[in-house]
């Protein structure tokens, strides 16, 4: 596929979708039930001019970043432990497998009981959503390290801590990077849910608030923004991942 086509095709598909949306909105004829793309754009510009939209975006991104960073900070060491120690793995794996299918949303009542109303439950939900993919891919990456690297570490007499820092962690970084990217996607989905209760800012709150004030156009503004931001975050991590892989000689 040529470069021009790669750019044109998604643009054309988007144009078709927006046109169809516009036509459908005109048929429905109710801005409350189904606002047109133009109405949504107007709503976006209006809230942006009020300064509110940027505030909501920043609030969501900030909570997401905190929850995700906490997920990385906890998930990578736990993953390393599971990857390195057969004992830790057989002890913890069943617990993780039972906890993992529980939706982060299901934790919400507990989180509000523990942390009260506020942004902490939203952050905690992102943390829960991020930590499982990070733990599992990290553990997997560690298990799949070429055993020859570990033999080299041993023949040079590296200590256990030195081997982890100098060999295990860098050797598993390409695998960990994949986990970090997957976790960004899954946990970003949950920031909206986390913000639907207990906070008064953020894109999730914008959706609830707009619905309560019958501003369906703003509901769609928030939805589109969530999608676009999710795409941007994913792309940024893909770039970082590709860099890691290139630096690690991924061509081999």
DSSP 250: T
The least distance separating other proteins from the CB of residue 153, rounded to whole angstroms, comes to 8
The Cα–Cα gap between 67 and 59 comes to 12
Check residue 177 for interaction with other proteins (CB under 8 A).
Answer: no
Q: Which is nearer to other proteins, 114 or 156 (CB)?
A: 156
Q: Which of 62, 79, 83, 97 is nearest to 194 (CA)?
A: 62
The least distance separating other proteins from the CB of residue 177, rounded to whole angstroms, comes to 12
Candidates 82-90, 129-137, 150-158, 219-227; binding stretch for other proteins (CB under 8 A): 150-158
The least distance separating other proteins from the CB of residue 166, rounded to whole angstroms, comes to 7
Check residue 151 for interaction with other proteins (CB under 8 A).
Answer: yes
The Cα–Cα gap between 246 and 250 comes to 5
Check residue 238 for interaction with other proteins (CB under 8 A).
Answer: no
DSSP per-residue codes, 145-194: S-HHHHHHHHHTT--HHHHIIIIIHHHHHHHHHHHHHHHHHHHHHHHHHH
Check residue 149 for interaction with other proteins (CB under 8 A).
Answer: yes
Check residue 160 for interaction with other proteins (CB under 8 A).
Answer: no
Structure tokens at 144: 């799949």
The least distance separating other proteins from the CB of residue 180, rounded to whole angstroms, comes to 17
Q: Which of 186, 180, 191, 179 is nearest to 226 (CA)?
A: 191
* Whether the Cβ atoms of residue 61 and residue 204 lie closer than 8 Å to each other: no
Burial 129-142 (b: 16+ CB within 10 A, else e): bbbbbbbbbbbbbb
Candidates 78-86, 157-165, 191-199, 202-210; binding stretch for other proteins (CB under 8 A): 157-165
Check residue 161 for interaction with other proteins (CB under 8 A).
Answer: no
Candidates 51-59, 91-99, 155-163, 200-208; binding stretch for other proteins (CB under 8 A): 155-163
Check residue 252 for interaction with other proteins (CB under 8 A).
Answer: yes
Check residue 170 for interaction with other proteins (CB under 8 A).
Answer: yes
Torsion of CA 139, 142, 144, 146, to 10 degrees: 180
Q: Which is nearer to other proteins, 4 or 155 (CB)?
A: 155
Structure tokens at 97: 């497998």
Q: Which is nearer to other proteins, 238 or 246 (CB)?
A: 246
The Cα–Cα gap between 30 and 50 comes to 25
Candidates 54-62, 216-224, 229-237, 243-251; binding stretch for other proteins (CB under 8 A): 243-251
Contact residues for 140 (Cβ-Cβ < 8 A; gap 6+): 83, 175
Q: Which residues bind other proteins (CB under 8 A)?
A: 146, 148-149, 151-152, 154-159, 162, 166-167, 170-171, 173, 247-249, 251-252
């Amino acid at each position: 596929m040529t470069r021009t086509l790669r750019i044109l095709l998604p643009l054309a598909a988007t144009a078709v979708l927006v046109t169809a949306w516009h036509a459908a909105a005109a048929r429905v004829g109710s801005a409350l039930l189904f606002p047109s793309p133009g109405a949504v754009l107007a709503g976006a510009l209006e809230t942006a001019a009020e300064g509110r939209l940027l505030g909501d975006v920043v609030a969501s991104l900030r909570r997401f970043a905190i929850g995700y960073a906490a997920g990385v900070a906890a998930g990578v060491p736990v993953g390393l432990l599971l990857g390195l120690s057969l004992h830790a793995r057989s002890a913890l794996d069943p617990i993780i497998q039972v906890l993992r299918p529980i939706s982060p949303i299901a934790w919400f009542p507990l989180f509000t009981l523990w942390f009260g109303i506020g942004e902490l439950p939203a952050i905690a939900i992102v943390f829960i959503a991020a930590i499982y993919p990070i733990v599992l891919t990290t553990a997997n990456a560690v298990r799949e390290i070429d055993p020859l690297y570990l033999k080299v570490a041993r023949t040079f007499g590296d200590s256990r801590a030195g081997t982890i820092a100098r060999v295990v962690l860098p050797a598993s970084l390409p695998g960990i990077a994949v986990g970090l990217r997957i976790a960004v996607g899954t946990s970003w989905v949950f920031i909206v849910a986390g913000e639907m209760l207990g906070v008064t800012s953020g894109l999730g709150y914008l959706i609830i608030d707009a619905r309560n004030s019958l501003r369906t156009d703003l509901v769609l503004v928030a939805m589109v923004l969530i999608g676009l931001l999710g795409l941007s975050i994913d792309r940024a991590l893909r770039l970082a991942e590709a860099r890691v892989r290139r630096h690690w000689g991924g061509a081999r």
